[in-house]
Amino acid sequence: MSKMPFSRADILLPKKDFDTWSTVACDQYTSQRDYWENADKTVGEAPSALRITLPEVYLNDADVNDRIKKINATMKEYLEADIFNEYKDAMIFVERKLKDGRTRKGIVGKIDLEAYDYTVGSTSAVRATEGTVLSRIPPRVEIRKDALIELPHIMVLIDDPENEVVPNEPSGEIIYDTPLMLGGGSARGSLMSENAVNKALSALEKQSETHELLFAVGDGNHSLATAKACYEKDKSNPLARYALVEIVNIHDPALDFEPIYRVVFGVDTEKMLNEAKKLFSDCTENKVVTVVNGKEDSFYVNGLTAGVLQSFIDKYIEENGG
């Protein structure tokens, strides 16, 4: 087996109804049940990824176990109903048209979980780009452990300034071209030709010789961590060793990096802000803006803002609640 942790995969795609099949990632709109209720109405009786994933807005509901059982039963039903085409040993070139008209490009294949380690200080070929919250993994394991179909939303970033890995245009058959539900833009997927696959893998092999970090998990880190946890529990299942991912070039002009805001509930905000200002009183590098009841305030931190701030928040909540 090649040492390259990214490779071809056996990929299922529905034979029809792509517009109702496509569903936003399960960890989106977690405070907006109305979005998921609209998605439910949009799908109706059509087969959909919505019926075989668990939106995290429902993760803490009393009926979550019943939902998981229903998801597993629906997966079995879909497989028996022959609603999929299977593409063996395939890579799919994906062109995702965003709402602003730009197109982000990527390649879908599988990642070897033996090459992935999300722990701090890891030197593995595939690594997390954010802290992994261990408490978020067990409920996701409950969803994944008996699943017959994998539907992750994992984006893995590569550093390819010369754009040698991800193609610029299709090289094979277009297998879907569809709008995404509820204003999500559109997506087109094509099978990559043998030549295009070999070119991409060759370019990645070349980068592996010079890049200490080859693959950085840009989205879906907890999904990949869940896959890893399931694999570690049952290495007798050869399929459990892999997870479906999309690799995207960090230099893709349609890939934006935006701030992720931290919203804190159930704390004495005055006390928390005073402690932050005291802790970071000597810092001068990066400004942190806070908003409480519409009123802005600020302080400075040194180092990577998101990491420093998250560490403070985690420690404060551990000691004070919230």
| Domain boundaries, given as residue ranges, for the chain | 6-12+82-249, 269-320
The answer for 97, left when phi > 0, alpha when psi is -120 to 50, beta otherwise, is beta
Distances (CA, A) of 174 to 22, 178, 193, 240: 17, 11, 11, 29
pTM for this entry: 0.84
Please list the pLDDT of the chain residue by residue as tens digits (322 residues): 348 999 999 999 999 889 899 999 998 998 899 999 999 999 999 999 999 999 989 988 999 999 999 999 999 999 999 999 999 999 999 999 998 899 999 999 999 999 999 887 788 999 987 766 767 788 888 888 889 999 988 999 999 999 999 999 999 999 999 999 998 899 999 999 999 999 999 999 999 888 888 999 988 888 899 999 999 998 888 889 999 999 999 999 999 887 778 999 999 999 999 999 999 999 999 999 999 999 999 999 998 788 789 889 999 999 999 9
Distance CA 167, CA 163 (A): 8
Minimal CA–CA distance to 95: which of 190, 165, 16?
A: 190
Length, in residues, of the chain: 322
